[in-house]
Amino acid sequence: MYDKTVRRRRAVLALLVVLSLILLTAYFGEASGGRLHSVQRGFLTVVSPIQDGANKALKPVRDLFGWFGDTLHAKSQNAELRKQVAILRREVVADHVDQQSYHQLLGMFHLDNQLSVADYRPVTATVVGKTPNIWYSTVTIDKGTAAGVQVEDPVINDEGLVGKVTLAASDGAQVSLITDSSMGVSARIGSSAATGIVQPKVGDPNDLLLQYLPGGTVALKGEYVYTSGTVASPDDSLYPRGIPIGQVTSVNEESAYESVNVHPLANLRNLDVVQVLTAGAGSQPARLSGLLSNLPAGGHPGTETGSAGQLASTGVGG
């Protein structure tokens, strides 16, 4: 009797471990359109409305817990932000004059057809789920393909760039945050025209690294980093130009490439409402993305990136 119990216990354990390993191998080996990924998308479709309902019902509980942390954080930020407001107020007045001249010049040279956020048909979505571990920087939102959300669509909030859609079901989608190891965004530093790629910083998943900058690029602490509106390859997401990503915290002198550390502006730990830039069919970004995807693969990377970047940033496709 005892032997039978022991055998049964061990058999169950072995069966479950083998089943897990089979699932793991099959999932890891298949493409994103495979069966197990489809099951996951189906599950997301089913549970998204439940998660959305639970999220709304439990928002007061979440807000109550968040209130304590936010209050302490806000107090420490108050004095620093007051100083920043005084500086920025002076800059806004000066920039207003420059902006008028800039728009006049753009109009004169027919360069005023750049993509803006409004061209992307933004869809507002609520965050209904978040991964609890360090390994995945992803959130689940309550809008999916039924609302026009597609894989690779950029996601923003009122603070700046949040990430991009990596999996879309009919009533929900998974968003990989800019701190996710799979992300890379073409960006530029506010004061210079130099562009680089923003990627998560190895060793600190809550920080970013703007790298592959041209030699001699000057970056000052506190400068803002924006999306450049270009893509490095036809497969990349086409983020609108000028979306703030973060602020420069320090410059790396020792690395082979010029690179700077960037702290993300969007509070990725406390996301509530986001906007997905859907670039619906027929829109200018959609046409441009189609044009980019038809670019020939291979060739000289610099040339390809250059032409793709030029297309994206000037809006020739529209």
Shortest approach of other proteins to residue 128 CB, angstroms? 6
User: Is residue 74 within the footprint of other proteins (CB under 8 A)?
Assistant: no
Q: Which is nearer to other proteins, 189 or 210 (CB)?
A: 210
Number of residues in contact with other proteins under rule CB under 8 A: 58
Angle between helices 301-314 and 284-293 (to 10 degrees): 170
39 touching other proteins, by CB under 8 A: yes
Q: Out of 125, 147, 171, 174, point to the residue binding other proteins (CB under 8 A).
A: 174
Among 182, 250, 255, 310, binds other proteins (CB under 8 A): 182
Q: Is 299 helix (H, G, I), strand (E, B) or coil?
A: coil
Question: Per rule CB under 8 A, is residue 31 in the interface with other proteins?
Answer: no
With contacts defined by CB under 8 A, name the span among 7-15, 107-115, 145-153, 293-301 that binds other proteins. Answer: 7-15
Strand partners, 176: 138, 164
Our finding on whether 103 is near other proteins (CB under 8 A) is no
Tell which residue, 290, 276, 241, 11, has the closest CA to residue 120. 276
CA–CA separation, 13 and 160 (whole Å):
47
Query: Rounded distance, CA 115 to CA 231, Å?
Result: 13
Cβ 194 vs Cβ 202: under 8 Å:
no
Angle, helices 2-29 vs 35-57, to 10°: value is: 100
Residue 210 CB, shortest distance to other proteins, in Å, is 17
Q: Is 20 in the site for other proteins (CB under 8 A)?
A: yes
Which of 40, 283, 284, 307 binds other proteins (CB under 8 A)? It is 40
Piece of the chain touching other proteins by CB under 8 A; list 63-71, 210-218, 223-231, 258-266: 63-71
Indicate whether 66 belongs to the interface with other proteins (CB under 8 A): yes
Rg of the chain over Cα atoms, rounded to whole angstroms, equals 23
State the Cα–Cα distance between residues 258 and 217, nearest whole angstrom: 7
Provide the mask over 244-273, with x wherever binding to other proteins is found by CB under 8 A and - wherever it is not: -------------------------xxx--
Residue 151 touching other proteins (CB under 8 A): no
> Concatenated DSSP letters for 192-259?
S--EEEEEEETTEEEEEEEEEEPTT----TT-EEEE-S--SSTTS--PPTT-EEEEEEEEESSSSSEE
Residue 2 engages other proteins in binding (rule: CB under 8 A) = no
Shorter beta-carbon distance to other proteins: residue 25 or 100 = 25
How wide is the angle at C-alpha 112 spanned by C-alphas 111 and 114, nearest 5°?
95
Residue 127 found at the interface with other proteins (CB under 8 A) = yes
Contact flag: residue 12 with other proteins (CB under 8 A): yes
CB 245 within 8 A of CB 187: yes
**Which residues of this protein are in contact with other proteins, per CB under 8 A?**
5, 8-9, 12-13, 16-17, 19-28, 36, 39-40, 43-44, 47, 50-51, 54-55, 58, 61-62, 65-66, 69, 127-136, 138, 140, 167, 174, 181-182, 200-205, 269-271
